[in-house]
Amino acid sequence: MSDRKKVYLTRELPQEAMDLLKSKFEVEVWPEEIPPPKSLLKEKMREVDGLICLLTERIDREVIEAAGPQFRGISQVAVGYDNIDIKAATEKGIYVTNTPGVLTETTADYAFALLMATARRIAEADRYVRSGKWKIPWGLMMLLGQDIWGKTIGIIGMGRIGTAVARRAKGMNMKILYYDVVRNEKAEKELGAKYVDLETLLKESDFVTLHVPLLPSTRHLINEERLKLMKKTACLINTSRGPVVDEKALYKALKEGWIWAAGLDVWEKEPTDPDNPLLKLDNVTASPHIASGSIATRTKMALMAVENMIAILEGKVPPNLVNKEVLKVRPPTS
């Protein structure tokens, strides 16, 4: 029997990352595109030394408690990790890692692209041309959008990605407001971002863009009451996590014209149902959770996840450890 450590992957990774992982460990991969069932995850946790997973896997307490004594770590291929019960992992001495940094600029590119597409109705214009609605040569009042240049952007969550969005906004000569639970003085100094309370941000911004993690305190952060504070001409952009926005309230806001449009890359349930009423609205620009999805970045994320797993299984402190308290429960061995 081989004494190589075993790693289970819930999805195939790009070749470079697979090759690196296979050079070190015995590797088994869930062969489908949909997440593996919970029963299989539990079985694998009993057998293997490490798990590499995506944000679609629900790694709850029950899954974590199924881990055998040999199991050391979970390496998530994403920056967000709200799908993993971190407290349960820490209690059991399981290391959890993520992939921050490498996706910051790519995600900010996409958030800004979605902002521009929403303001200038690009997806709607595409549907308009394809469906044969374009009948007059040039329409003075055809598919009019909102200006972006020189307008006010309100960034909720001024971490790595929020700050990268602010840099793009500065290039568009926008006024930058932000709200976060902590001040970002660097962004204030370097980008001229102004710290305001949430209410002021919602009232004064032409574009509100979300860059917070999903936490109990951010679930439905954008609700009916807060949507009512926004400008009637404002656009809401969400590339963070779907449940940060109350979709029912957003539907009302868009349908009844409390706000002008929304660009949504993330949804309360993913994949969102094709019958989701939001998809019936022309003032919604929709995409399927692809903000970090450039070819180069997805490869970097996979490699980073593999490097984290190698460090975990070599008994080291992995570079992107999320639950630092675990080091007291299970100290590194080298």
By annotation, the residues acting in catalysis are 241, 270, 289
Residues 285-314 that bind ligand GLV (CB under 6 A): 292
CA nearest neighbour of 309 among 299, 298, 318, 300: 318
- Exactly one of 79, 117, 187, 259 binds ligand GLV (CB under 6 A); that residue is 79
Please identify which residue in the block is written with the tokens 């329409």.
139
Shortest approach of ligand GLV to residue 78 CB, angstroms?
A: 3
Q: Which two tokens stand for residue 298?
A: 């997805």
Task: Give the range of 16-24, 62-70, 76-84, 117-125 binding ligand GLV by CB under 6 A.
Answer: 76-84
Give the binding-site size for ligand GLV (rule: CB under 6 A): 6
Instruction: Please name which of 276, 229, 302 lies closest in space to residue 15, comparing C-alpha atoms.
Output: 302
Q: Which residue, 177 or 302, is less far from ligand GLV as judged by CB? A: 302
Total number of residues shown for the chain: 334
To ligand GLV, the closest distance from the beta carbon of 87 in angstroms equals: 19
263 binds ligand GLV (CB under 6 A): no
Compute how many other C-beta atoms are within 10 angstroms of the C-beta atom of residue 105: 17
Residue 10 binds ligand GLV (CB under 6 A): no
Amino acid at 196: V
Contact 27, 7 (CB under 8 A): yes
Residues 6+ apart with CB under 8 A from 98: 76, 78, 79, 80, 81, 320, 322
Tell me if 35 contacts ligand GLV by CB under 6 A: no
Span near ligand GLV by CB under 6 A; candidates 78-86, 150-158, 185-193, 245-253 = 78-86
Nearest to 37 by CA among 72, 74, 62: 62
Q: Is 218 in the site for ligand GLV (CB under 6 A)?
A: no
Measured CA to CA, the distance from residue 297 to residue 34 in angstroms comes to 21
Q: Specify the residue, 55 or 111, whose C-beta has the smaller distance to ligand GLV.
A: 55
Q: Using CA atoms, how far apart are residues 71 and 67, in angstroms rounded to an integer?
A: 6
Q: According to CB under 6 A, which one of 13, 21, 48, 55 is a site residue for ligand GLV?
A: 55
Q: Does 78 bind ligand GLV (CB under 6 A)?
A: yes
Q: Which amino acid is at 144?
A: L
Q: Does 108 bind ligand GLV (CB under 6 A)?
A: no
Give the tokens for residue 164.
């990268």
Q: How far apart are CB 80 and ligand GLV at their closest, in Å?
A: 3
- Is 80 among the residues that bind ligand GLV (CB under 6 A)? yes
Select from 3-11, 73-81, 152-160, 175-183 the region that touches ligand GLV (CB under 6 A): 73-81
Closer residue to ligand GLV (CB): 79 or 84: 79
Segment 174 to 213, residues that bind ligand GLV, using CB under 6 A: none
Q: Where are the alpha helices (DSSP H) in 32-80?
A: 38-47, 61-65
Opening angle at CA 292, ends 183 and 87, nearest 5: 60
Which residues would be at the binding site for ligand GLV (CB under 6 A)?
A: 55, 78-80, 103, 292
